[in-house]
Amino acid sequence: MVSCGLVGEPDRDGVQAGRNRSTLRKSSIACMPVPPVMDVPVEIQAPFESSQSFDSSQLAIPLELEGSVESFDPVARAADLAATLPRQWCGNYTSFTSNSTVDVELTLTRLRPMGQMVDLRGEMRIGSISTPVQGNLNAKSDQLDLLPLSPELTDDLEIGGRFLGLQDFSLAGWVAPRLTNPGGRLDLSGSCAVSESAPIRALW
């Protein structure tokens, strides 16, 4: 939209010619653009239509988890092991260095539960050498760590090494302090065979 009007020039007396149209000597038409008035709403709300129907009953479906909850109590098992483990273990040790096998006898003198661990103290005879031992048994994983404390061991067992078992006392390996020592295998059983001496017959 355009708005136009007359614009007059002042005469010799300085009076604007626009006041008296008869006295105008020169006039012009001035036009100014006027922006159109638009009635635009402040907010336009468009209706929302969902393309899929929503079923609120799906929210009430319970969540099901597969699997079972662990009910094993390693602390209780450690206390049970401390009370029921055999105190006498017998077997043999086979060296991977010399391939020699010697008899082994382990006597446990103290077993004390400490959380899920069982603290061990005892005496071990390896061949002709006896040594005090200490270690622990994990009641959850059945891992055994047994450390000989004697400064004098056999040639294949070095000071600073330990017996490491993954099946409690049943099967363990010797972990040497040096990588050049391949170690060995310790096989123990919870029952020691008692040798019966033959009856002595009289000579008469």
Residue 23 belongs to domain spanning: 2-33
CATH number at residue 134: 2.40.128.620
Residue 44 lies in a domain: no
* Domain membership flag for residue 163: yes
**Are residues 92 and 18 part of one domain?**
no
Please count the structural domains in the chain: 2
Residue 194 lies in a domain: no
102, 94, 107: which is closest to 126 by C-alpha?
102
- Do residues 84 and 23 both lie within one domain? no
For residues 128 and 185, state if they share a domain: yes
**Span 124-178, pLDDT tens digits:** 999 999 999 999 999 999 999 999 999 888 778 888 899 999 888 888 999 988 8
DSSP per-residue letters across 133-193: EEEEEETTT--EEEEE--S---TTS-TT-EEEESBTBSEEEEE-SSTT---EEEEEES--P
Q: Are residues 28 and 100 in the same domain?
A: no
Instruction: Say whether both 86 and 158 belong to one domain.
Output: yes
Residues 86, 168, single domain; the answer is: yes
Q: What's the rounded Cα separation, in Å, for the pair 55 and 53?
A: 7
Looking at the fold, whether 172 and 95 belong to one and the same domain comes out as: yes
Q: What is the pLDDT of residues 23-80, one digit of tens each?
A: 444 445 555 666 665 555 556 565 656 566 656 666 656 666 676 666 789 999 999 9
Residue 136 counted as domain residue:
yes
Please give the Cα distance from 113 to 144 (Å, whole number). 14
Q: Is residue 105 part of a domain?
A: yes
pLDDT confidence tier of residue 17, bands split at 50, 70 and 90: very low
